[in-house]
Amino acid sequence: MAALSDRMRALVQPRLADFEPYDPAFTPTRINLSANENTYPMPAAVRAELDRALAATPLNRYPDPMSGELRAAIAERHGVEPRQVCVGNGGDELLFNFLFAFGGAGRTLLNLPPAFSEYELFAQMTETAVVNVWRDPATFEIPEDEALAAAAEADLVIVTSPNNPTGNLIAPEFAERLCAACRGLVMVDEAYIEFARPGASVQPLLERCPNLVILHTLSKAFGEAGIRCGYVLATADVIDVFAAVRQIYSVNVLTQAAGLVAIRERAAFAPVVEKIRAERARMLAGLEGLTAGAIGAVVWPSEGNFLLVRLPGAAEIRRRLRDDYDILVRDFSAAPGLAGCLRITVGTPEENDAVLRALTDLVKGETR
Ligand code: PMP
């Protein structure tokens, strides 16, 4: 994405002059496995219910600011009080508002990269300083003692579990220790938690960690990335702050209606999630097989709906996947800590087969 023009560099707030906007690196392709979306069709009965709900939603009235009905359904899903829930226009909006409300000049965010790059971007936009404690370069596990020491000095922590793009989980015990170490708020971003093994969520900690904030989204397991609906769970006083800083009507009526159907019909998504987990195992084995002879190649196991793979000529392979095979995956090969890495969303069996076939051709070409 273009950097700011000289004219704009002179006009924007000085701290934004070197701002590089988030670039989802999107090109229309036949098979898009670049954004960790759920590429499966929505279960037909849910889709029919959703269409009915959307058709019945009046558009002439402003939305309920706090998404009352959806909020109550989310609270019920997680066994918390509605006042412990704030719904947002995607998880992105809530991440921004978290840094806007609790970060800012003079405050420090502890970040545990390689992680979702929006954290640093929103920190920059809100003048929040960032302290990075890097994950182990081979396993991407968090160096826990170092992170705990840094958390004691930080005002905020964001930790992703499963982590995007590396797929690692954190142990709930570690999250609890982070909450004890940090004087401020600790956000655990569980955007991909539905794809993880049972018991992975830090949700049971909510009752005893008053500084814990958990982020969820309907963009991944629930296949509603286009709807833009995310939410946070926290203590009611933390939620009051999210409520106070939000754009009053940011969650539109159609989003609220579609979100409500997804939450109410959540059981219908379980087979889709199971299928993605099975395909993830198949893709992991397939990628391991095809990179077996390649020097420096690694495929990391993942608890999300994506796999990170390091392979020779990654940037060129990604380009050829796009240009010659009409398949889009995410190139992280130039990102710090991710040299030579591509991230591939786990798609449908047909999409995954197409990726494996194309990669087999390309990797053979690279290593010949
Ligand atoms: N957290 C993580 C780790 C993500 O990968 C994403 C989306 N890529 C989000 C939050 C935000 O998702 P959304 O805005 O679609 O709810």
- State pLDDT tens for residues 202-216: 999 999 999 999 999
The verdict on residue 16 lying in a domain is no
Q: What percent of the chain has pLDDT over 90?
A: 90
pLDDT-based confidence at residue 27 (cuts at 50, 70, 90): confident
Is residue 318 classed as helix, strand or coil in its secondary structure?
A: helix
Pairing of strands 85-88, 230-233: antiparallel
Check if 250 has its Cβ closer than 6 Å to any atom of ligand 1: no
* 239 and 337 together in one domain: no
pLDDT-based confidence at residue 291 (cuts at 50, 70, 90): confident
Pocket test for ligand 1, best of 111, 118, 251, 303 (most atoms within 8 A of CB): 118
Does the pTM exceed 0.95? yes
**Rounded average pLDDT over 317-331:** 97
Check if 37 has its Cβ closer than 6 Å to any atom of ligand 1: no
Please report the sign of the dihedral spanned by the C-alpha atoms of residue 210, residue 198, residue 47, residue 276: positive
Alpha-carbon span 46 to 53, nearest angstrom: 10
Strand order in the sheet with 306-310: 298-299, 306-310, 341-345, 330-331
Q: Which of 264, 282, 315 is the last residue of a domain?
A: 264
**Average of per-residue pLDDT values in the chain:** 95
**Rounded average pLDDT over 166-175:** 98
Locate the ligand 1 atom nearest the alpha carbon of residue 219 and give its number: 15
CATH number assigned to the domain comprising residue 361: 3.90.1150.10
The verdict on residue 353 lying in a domain is yes
Higher pLDDT, 324 or 15: 324
The verdict on residue 197 lying in a domain is yes
- For residue 165, whether the previous peptide bond is cis, meaning omega lies within 30 degrees of 0, is yes
* 215 and 126 together in one domain: yes
* CB 66 within 8 Å of CB 73: no
pLDDT for residue 368 is more than 70: no
Per the structure, the count of domains in the chain is 2
Type of residue found at 49? E
Q: How many residues does the chain have?
A: 368
Check if 219 has its Cβ closer than 6 Å to any atom of ligand 1: yes
Report which protein residue has its CA nearest ligand 1's atom 6: 191
* 258 and 289 together in one domain: no
CATH number assigned to the domain comprising residue 190: 3.40.640.10
Cα of 228 from ligand 1 centre, angstroms: 10
Strand (E) or helix (H) holding 281 = helix 270-291
Higher pLDDT, 23 or 12: 12
pLDDT for residue 294 is more than 90: no
| pLDDT at residue 143, rounded to an integer | 98
Check if 102 has its Cβ closer than 6 Å to any atom of ligand 1: no
The verdict on residue 11 lying in a domain is no
Pocket test for ligand 1, best of 22, 164, 193, 303 (most atoms within 8 A of CB): 164
Cα of 20 from ligand 1 centre, angstroms: 18
Check if 340 has its Cβ closer than 6 Å to any atom of ligand 1: no
**Rounded average pLDDT over 11-31:** 83
Report which protein residue has its CA nearest ligand 1's atom 4: 191
- Residue 140 lies in domain: 44-264
**Rounded average pLDDT over 127-136:** 98
* 169 and 217 together in one domain: yes
Token look-up 């990335």 returns 225
* 279 and 247 together in one domain: no
Pocket test for ligand 1, best of 23, 112, 189, 255 (most atoms within 8 A of CB): 189
pLDDT for residue 364 is more than 80: no
| pLDDT at residue 1, rounded to an integer | 53
Check if 163 has its Cβ closer than 6 Å to any atom of ligand 1: no
**Rounded average pLDDT over 319-323:** 96
The verdict on residue 4 lying in a domain is no
The verdict on residue 275 lying in a domain is yes
* 160 and 51 together in one domain: yes
Q: Which of 233, 264, 295 is the last residue of a domain?
A: 264
Q: Which of 224, 242, 264 is the last residue of a domain?
A: 264
Check if 116 has its Cβ closer than 6 Å to any atom of ligand 1: yes
Q: What letter would DSSP give residue 40?
A: S
Report which protein residue has its CA nearest ligand 1's atom 2: 191
**Rounded average pLDDT over 43-67:** 98
Cα of 161 from ligand 1 centre, angstroms: 12
Check if 335 has its Cβ closer than 6 Å to any atom of ligand 1: no
Q: With 0-12 CB in 10 A as exposed, 13-18 as middle and 19+ as buried, what is 361?
A: middle
The verdict on residue 2 lying in a domain is no
* 278 and 326 together in one domain: yes
pLDDT-based confidence at residue 32 (cuts at 50, 70, 90): very high
* 331 and 190 together in one domain: no
pLDDT-based confidence at residue 23 (cuts at 50, 70, 90): confident
* 109 and 162 together in one domain: yes
Range with lowest mean pLDDT among 5-14, 61-70, 130-139: 5-14
Type of residue found at 66? M
By C-alpha distance, which of 221, 228, 214, 225 is closest to 90?
Answer: 228
The verdict on residue 9 lying in a domain is no
| pLDDT at residue 361, rounded to an integer | 92
| pLDDT at residue 296, rounded to an integer | 84
Check if 67 has its Cβ closer than 6 Å to any atom of ligand 1: no
C-beta neighbour count of 321 within 10 angstroms: 26
Q: What letter would DSSP give residue 207?
A: G
Within 39-117, residue ranges assigned H as helices are 44-55, 68-78, 90-102
List pLDDT tens digits, range 147-160.
999 999 999 999 99
By C-alpha distance, which of 183, 241, 173, 242 is closest to 210?
Answer: 183
* 198 and 321 together in one domain: no
Locate the ligand 1 atom nearest the alpha carbon of residue 92 and give its number: 14
Cα of 222 from ligand 1 centre, angstroms: 13
Check if 89 has its Cβ closer than 6 Å to any atom of ligand 1: no
Cα of 191 from ligand 1 centre, angstroms: 6
Q: What letter would DSSP give residue 356?
A: H
* CB 81 within 8 Å of CB 75: yes
pLDDT for residue 367 is more than 80: no
* 76 and 170 together in one domain: yes
Type of residue found at 45? A
Type of residue found at 182? C
Alpha-carbon span 289 to 298, nearest angstrom: 11
Residues 6+ apart with CB under 8 A from 288: 299
Structure tokens at 89: 């226009």
pLDDT-based confidence at residue 19 (cuts at 50, 70, 90): confident
| pLDDT at residue 366, rounded to an integer | 58
pLDDT for residue 21 is more than 90: no
Higher pLDDT, 20 or 96: 96
Alpha-carbon span 320 to 347, nearest angstrom: 19
* 191 and 109 together in one domain: yes
